[in-house]
Structure 1
Amino acid sequence: MPIKAILTDIEGTTSAVSFVFEVLFPYAVQQLPDFVRKHATRADVAEQLQAVRETSGEPAADVERVIEILLGWIAEDRKATSLKALQGMVWEQGYRAGQLKGHVYPDAVAALQRWHQSGYRLYVYSSGSIQAQKLIFGRSIAGDLTPLFSGFFDTTSGPKREVQSYRRITQAIGCAPGQILFLSDIVQELDAAQSAGLATCGLVREGGELAGHANVASFAEIDPQSF
């Protein structure tokens, strides 16, 4: 069954893990407290702050306590949808101010452009919010790459290591599972996608092996027609 759509992870796959941990996370830690204090009553922010209270089991937490919880979640790299949404809002300010530029590997840029031109439908699935995904690709060091993509998925579709998440995404894309190629650097994500029927390919940019899946060190090595 020929591949028609390519679904890619970001962190460690299209983009350096170091960009997230050494640039984006520290920026959020620095900027998030004042952002929350300043915009706590803004509807979209207030909605996420309430979600933090509910998730943490502290429904009466004041703004300063919510900030404390959020900073703790950043430190442990917690995949909380409310945190990701708020980080995305903070990062948007940074991108718009020119303080941030999204990192995308040159080999990923070249392949995504080539695949798009060849008629493959391209999608992103990341634990970062859809807003954050669009910022990384929309304000990247290679320019605005968002026109290459047909859609974006985050943890509102489910955790990345659960099979059902990939079934939901497959339904949303509208292809048979075997017509979708999923790219990631995390074996548990690849396993879940494979269990949902998707074709898989692991990125091992720093070496190593993602057992049970095709492995490549660069997007330049991926031929969608070979899956």
Structure 2
Amino acid sequence: MDNKIRLLLAEDEPSLGQIVKESLETRNFKVTHALNGEEAYEYYKNNEFDILVLDVMMPKKDGFTLAKEIRNENKNIPIIFLTAKSQTKDVIDGFNHGGNDYLKKPFSMEELIIRAYSLLDRVTVKNNFQNIVIGQYIFNYEKQKLIFNDENFLLTHRESELLFHLTQRKNEILDRSFILNKLWGDDDFFNARSMDVFISKLRKKLKKDQNIQIINIRGYGYKLMC
């Protein structure tokens, strides 16, 4: 039985793509290499993959556009962006388009492999917790929604990710810097303010159960109490 990790690599530089492909294939990956965004999307539609590695700047369809289209169909598959850009805005754009991680060129193969395995481990954990009980709510991670009696509250991708991490440390402190770096790519002031907004949105959606609180532990992070 073939238990290799199925990886789709979208990289328009043929030589770099071939090097990455060959290196990964020595480490238990089965790699399909696409030279542009349109070709990558065709491969994605016609095959099954465990993880995607997408160059941001590609002909025909860039990596952000490709990731956004894929996220409309699959909320869970891990996506790593490869890019020569590393400004905070570029990183934020990557996460806003559905990316899970961001790797700046030039990169080491060891770093790519470690990041890929880390994301795959997180997906395995999440797949074991499709329905999470939060007080009187049911949190369906796969469908990104909260259920309270007969009411459904749809969550955005980032709301769902943030709530998942809060539930995994229920009644414990979720470190502020950790979650900012995981979901926003940087723990700067502006991202911290953005996260505060998302926390407020989650509080409103969870307010029907008065025993649920998301407490701000100043200087440390947040705690989901229920």
TM-score computed with the length of structure 1 as normaliser? 0.28
Higher strand share: 2
> More helix by proportion, 1 or 2?
1
